[in-house]
């Protein structure tokens, strides 16, 4: 097993341990993938929290699970399943939001979609009797076996979505906090809403590949919520969300490397810890 061969535990010579992190190509790939994902999750997560769409984001992450499971069953790259299902899920969510029902009816519809997604995921898992990566890594994340080509796909998607978000940042901010006036000033509020859900879907699909489908929130919502808590300044808040996501990803990957627990656990615990700390300090 790969695990037994490389995991030597901490030597407590921190410099050596630090250097050891970059010795193996799979670990370098994981660090690069984690960095790309953290930047993207920080940016889109900040807007998601601002728009109060955490529930929609969570649903997209649940939809990522059947996407990956279906890809595993069909024998196509997992990334294809993640991106395909999350993209389609974003369109469905936009359609639900487009019906302009009350907030309660909307969240009920989103919740039903979420239940269906989970059920589908387990169907695909049981259909494919042996999934290469295993059920728990689909749900809780893995950083083993990330290839160069996967890193490249992550990079291309992340650069594209961050660029689009940056270009639309001001009108998106306007539409998110003050939609009536934004519409009167000629901002295409509905188009931005659809576009943002698609960006969110892509972010979830990317983040899922590191943290697993269930722990996407560790990177998408928690650093962003912490940043909103720390400052009401938009550009500073965005920067903070990215910095926090990067910090917990790097620390989580390093901790996971030296222990037997999955990376998703560390990333989640660290970001939750920071969030609680900030809440207590800024109370």
Partner 1 sequence: MSEPAVALEGATIRLGGRAILEDVSLGVARGEFVAVLGPNGAGKSTLVKAILGLLPLAAGKAKVLGRPPGEANARIGYLPQRRNFDSATRIRGIDLVRLGLDGSRWGIPIPGLPGTKEKARRVAEVLELVGASRYATKPIGELSGGEQQRLLIAQALVRRPQLLLLDEPLDSLDLASQAAVAALVRRICEQEHVAVLLVAHDVNPILGFIDQVVYVAGGSAVGGRPRDVITSETLTRLFGVPIEVLHASDGRLVVVGQPEAPFHHGDRHA
3 binds partner 1, rule: CB under 8 A: no
Give how far the C-alpha of residue 216 lies from the chain's centroid of Cα atoms, to the nearest Å.
4
Shortest Å, Cβ 181 to partner 1: 6
177 binds partner 1, rule: CB under 8 A: yes
Shortest Å, Cβ 99 to partner 1: 17
Closest CA to 254 of 11, 32, 18: 18
Shortest Å, Cβ 186 to partner 1: 5
Residue appearing with tokens 């992450």: 61
190 binds partner 1, rule: CB under 8 A: no
Shortest Å, Cβ 225 to partner 1: 10
181 binds partner 1, rule: CB under 8 A: yes
Query: To which H or E segment does residue 124 belong?
Result: helix 103-127
* Stretch 229-248 residues interacting with partner 1 (CB under 8 A): 229, 231-234, 237
180 binds partner 1, rule: CB under 8 A: yes
Residue appearing with tokens 């984690």: 34
Shortest Å, Cβ 55 to partner 1: 15
Gap between the Cα atoms of 196 and 205, Å rounded = 14
Tokens linked to 279: 């809440």
168 binds partner 1, rule: CB under 8 A: yes
Query: Any idea what DSSP says for residue 132?
Result: S
47 binds partner 1, rule: CB under 8 A: no
194 binds partner 1, rule: CB under 8 A: no
Residue 141, sorted as left (phi over 0), alpha (psi -120 to 50) or beta, turns out to be left
178 binds partner 1, rule: CB under 8 A: yes
186 binds partner 1, rule: CB under 8 A: yes
Between 112 and 185, whose beta carbon lies closer to partner 1? 185
Gap between the Cα atoms of 254 and 20, Å rounded = 10
Number of Cα atoms under 13 Å in the Cβ half of residue 247: 17
b/e sequence 151-174, b meaning 16+ C-beta within 10 Å? bebbbebbeebbebbeebeebbbb
Fill in the per-residue mask, 148 to 167: x = in contact with partner 1 (CB under 8 A), - = not in contact.
Answer: ------------------xx
Q: In the complex, which residues of this chain contact partner 1 (CB under 8 A)?
A: 166-171, 173-174, 177-178, 180-182, 184-187, 228-229, 231-234, 237
């Amino acid at each position: 097993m790969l695990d037994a061969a490389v995991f030597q535990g901490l030597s407590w010579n921190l410099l050596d341990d630090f250097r050891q992190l970059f010795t193996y190509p799979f670990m370098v790939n994981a660090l690069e993938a984690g960095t790309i994902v953290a930047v993207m999750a920080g940016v889109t997560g900040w807007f998601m929290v601002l728009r109060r769409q955490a529930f929609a984001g969570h649903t997209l992450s649940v939809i990522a699970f059947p996407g990956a499971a279906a890809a595993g069953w069909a024998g196509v790259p997992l990334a294809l399943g993640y991106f395909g299902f999350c993209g389609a899920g974003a369109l469905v969510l936009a359609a639900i939001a487009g019906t302009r029902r009350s907030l309660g009816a909307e969240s009920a519809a989103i919740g039903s979609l979420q239940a269906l997604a989970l059920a589908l995921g387990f169907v695909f898992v049981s259909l494919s009797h042996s999934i290469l990566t295993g059920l728990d890594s689909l749900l809780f994340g893995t950083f083993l076996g990330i290839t160069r080509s996967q890193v490249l796909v992550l990079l291309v998607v992340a650069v594209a979505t961050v660029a689009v978000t940056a270009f639309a940042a001001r009108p998106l901010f306007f539409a998110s906090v003050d939609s009536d006036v934004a519409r009167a000033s000629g901002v295409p509020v509905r188009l931005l809403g659809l576009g943002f859900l698609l960006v969110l879907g892509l972010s979830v699909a990317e983040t899922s590949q590191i943290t697993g489908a269930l722990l996407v929130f560790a990177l998408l919502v928690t650093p962003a919520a912490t940043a909103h808590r720390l400052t009401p300044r938009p550009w500073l808040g965005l920067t903070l969300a990215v910095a926090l996501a990067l910090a917990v990803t790097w620390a989580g990957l390093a901790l996971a490397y030296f222990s037997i627990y999955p990376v998703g656990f560390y990333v989640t615990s660290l970001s939750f810890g920071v969030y609680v700390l900030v809440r207590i300090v800024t109370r």
